[in-house]
Each structure stands twice: as structure tokens, then as C-alpha cells.
């Protein structure tokens, strides 16, 4: 998948990117204690990926870039289930405090050995 910046909307008011065939969207969603990076199919009422980035704006950008790097190797035709199964689950929020999930994300993105 390749993503391009798009106009923010009610689901992604702090930044939104859409896949080249307008199938998937990813972006930032504000919550009480910071931001979440969310991914879902355009037009769905739910998201398939929802990672807490906390209140650290710098980490939120790193998290988004990491998830997008992983998705670059995934065909846009992937099912929601395939995408959900690709990404690790977390036990601790924000994600950078979860050593298992964050390490796995970096490995999937090719950012660590």
C-alpha cells in the first residue's frame, strides 16, 4: 500500500492519509491522554488497528511512519483480517512502553535487527 495525505475528517481530525486506490485510511485520532494511530477501510464504522501513542507528538509521528512502512509491503487488496493478524497486540499503553509490541513493530518495519 502507498499512502498520500488527504483532508482530515471527523475520524482522523489530526491528520489523515489514504491508500492510492482509496481503500484504506490511516491517521491520528485525539483522545483524553494524547493521540491514537488508527487504520481502517474507508467508509467502515470501525478501525482495524488502534495504537496508543500517548501525548508525545514526536512518538506519534514515529509510530505512524512505522505502521506505514509495514503496510508498504501489504497489497491494498488485503482483507481486514489479514491486516489485523499482521500487527502485534499490546498489553501496555502507550505502545512505546510495551517492549514486546513496539519491538515487533520495529522488526516488521525493518527498523531493528
pLDDT exceeds 90 at position 73 = yes
Distance CA 63, CA 81 (A): 21
Mean of the per-residue pLDDT values of the chain: 95
Mean pLDDT within 36-61: 96
Per DSSP, 89 falls in state P
pLDDT at 59: 97
Mean pLDDT within 63-80: 97
Q: 3-state DSSP call for residue 84?
A: helix
> Residue holding cell 478501525?
47
pLDDT exceeds 90 at position 112 = no
- DSSP-assigned beta bridge partners for residue 37: 28, 51
Whether the link from the prior residue into 94 is cis, omega within 30° of 0, is yes
Over residues 28-47, the pLDDT tens digits come to 999 999 999 999 999 998 99
pTM of this prediction? 0.95
Amino acid at each position: 500500500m502507498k499512502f498520500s495525505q488527504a483532508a482530515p475528517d471527523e475520524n482522523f481530525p489530526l491528520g489523515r492519509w489514504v491508500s492510492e486506490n482509496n481503500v484504506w485510511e490511516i491517521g491520528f485520532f485525539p483522545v483524553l491522554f494524547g493521540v491514537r494511530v488508527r487504520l481502517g477501510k474507508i467508509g467502515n464504522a470501525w478501525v482495524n488497528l488502534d495504537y496508543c501513542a500517548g501525548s508525545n507528538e514526536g512518538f506519534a509521528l514515529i509510530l505512524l511512519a512505522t505502521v506505514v512502512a509495514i503496510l508498504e509491503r501489504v497489497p491494498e487488496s488485503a482483507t481486514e483480517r489479514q491486516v489485523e493478524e499482521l500487527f502485534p497486540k499490546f498489553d501496555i499503553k502507550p505502545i512505546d512502553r510495551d517492549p514486546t509490541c513496539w519491538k515487533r513493530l520495529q522488526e516488521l518495519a525493518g527498523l531493528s535487527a
